[in-house]
Structure 1
Amino acid sequence: MKQTRQTLIARLRDQHDEESWETFAQIYRRYIYVVIRRMNLSHSEAEDLVQEILFKVWNKLPELNYNPHKARFRTWLSTVIKNHVISYIRSSQSHSNKLSKAAEEMNETYSDHEIDEIIRKEWENYISNMAMERIKKSFPGQALKVFEMSLEGKSVAEIAETLNLKENSVYKSKNRVKARLIEEISLLRSDLE
């Protein structure tokens, strides 16, 4: 990512900077959607809420007094997501005597702490998947396959036999990919959180 999170946030304060807004939406849209779906809302509800949340963020960013030393941007965004979804569910309840299945399950199933935990886990998955996609280009050959097989619980001996490699090569490939993945996750965290 060429522009840092802070630079992007600063550019987003100018609501006429469409390129920055598109970059922001591209980075965070899927994450917001997945979090909403994990809260048992339907696909169409999630799609609508993603748009509403992105619009809310767009409106709030110019007044956001962001200080990365006090809090992560992700914390602020997570709060916006959580509050908007809870408001949506409450307004759904007040407009209808019948609760939708999702609203009912959400109220009965998730406490604020559990919602925060869903958001945290989805963020970790989102960052890990994004990091994996970004490092794939760096590893030609079987290195990625070695790493993926190790994640599936295969032993070094099994991997070596399956891929016709020496066990030492399996160790080296696995450790190279793992080190690069950890590095990329760290970079993404510093850039996006």
Structure 2
Amino acid sequence: MDDIYKTRKTLLFKIKDQYNDDAWAEFSEVYKHYIYAIIRGMKITAADADDIVQKIMMRLWKKLPEMSYDEQKSFRAFLAVVTKNEVLRFIEHRKRQMKRDQNAYDTDDGDYLSTIRLPEIEQIAQKEWEIYLTNRAFENLAKDYDTKAIEGFKMCLKGIGVGEVARLIGVEEKMVYNLRFRMKERFSKEIAKLRQDLE
């Protein structure tokens, strides 16, 4: 399990070399979807979100190799700030474009910009991070448990009763109890490991 993820410290050290393609591919795989989810949570369209993610990744490619590593700071919080700043740049750029076109706030774009919820960035980032960690933890569990077991455990997490879960996945109730106990402990460990490695 220790080999599944490089620690945040190790990965950040490796990407100090801007031309370490493997390290940057790993960095992108770990954090890109989280950044995208924050942007979409701010009501940015999918097309614009893709463009903003690319700008953020380029900005990080330039900036991260120069940064010193600080054990006490949350890298996730740093990413949320960088994302917020890039979205602000996007909004300001779009507003300037609209003014140049003499259509400020009278177009669909004006309505679109007004729906972006910048003050809630911290809540959006926190919510998306929890979803992201949960999904990554389930990806790890899928390496050791079959699909039926994973689906059964997800049902248990949603509060569905043991009897109903057993009926839906076609096993005895005793198996659901055992599965729930074993997977709950493993799931908690996966989440803790991901927090340690990625935040």
- TM (norm. structure 1) is 0.89
* CA-CA distance at 1:185 after TM superposition: 1.0
In structure 2, the partner of 1:91 is: 93
Aligned length: 188
8 Å CA contact retained: 2:80, 2:121: no
**Who is 2:181 aligned against?**
175
Instruction: State the distance in 1 between where 2:112 and 2:118 align.
Output: 14
Structure 2 residue 115 is the aligned partner of structure 1 residue 105: yes
Which residue does the alignment assign to 1:159? 165
- Structure 2: gaps of 5 or more residues: none
How far has the Cα of 1:2 moved from its partner? Answer: 4.3
Partner Cα separation in structure 2 for residue 165 and residue 190 of structure 1? 35
Please, which of 133, 137, 141 is the counterpart of residue 143 of structure 2?
A: 137
Q: Partner residue of 1:24? A: 27
Change (3 A) 1:20 1:164: closer
Structure 1 position 40 matched with structure 2 position 40: no
Alpha-carbon distance, 1:33 to partner: 1.2
1:69-101 C-alpha deviation (Å, 9 max, x unpaired): 2x1111111110011111211221122133423
Cα distance in 1 between the residues matched to 2:196 and 2:14:
18
Q: Percent identity?
A: 36
Task: Return the alpha-carbon distance in structure 1 between the equivalents of residues 59 and 169 of structure 2.
Answer: 50
SS of alignment partner, residue 115 of structure 2: helix
Instruction: Normalising by structure 2, report the TM-score.
Output: 0.87
- Please state whether the residue corresponding to 1:47 is helix, strand or coil: helix
Amino acid at match of 1:67: D
Per-residue CA deviations over 1:126-169 (Å, capped at 9, x if unaligned) read 11101101111211374223212223432112223344433332
Q: Deviations over 1:5-44 (max 9, x none)?
A: 1111011111111111111111111111111111111111
Q: Residue 35 of structure 1 contacts residue 118 of structure 1 at CA under 8 Å; is this kept in 2? A: yes
* Gap change, CA 1:64 and 1:174, over 3 Å in 2: same
| 1:15 corresponds to 2:18 | yes
* Aligned-residue RMSD, C-alpha: 1.7
Alignment correspondent of 2:66: 63
Letter aligned with residue 171 of structure 1: Y
Unaligned runs of 5+ in 1: none
Distance 2:33 2:23 in 1: 17
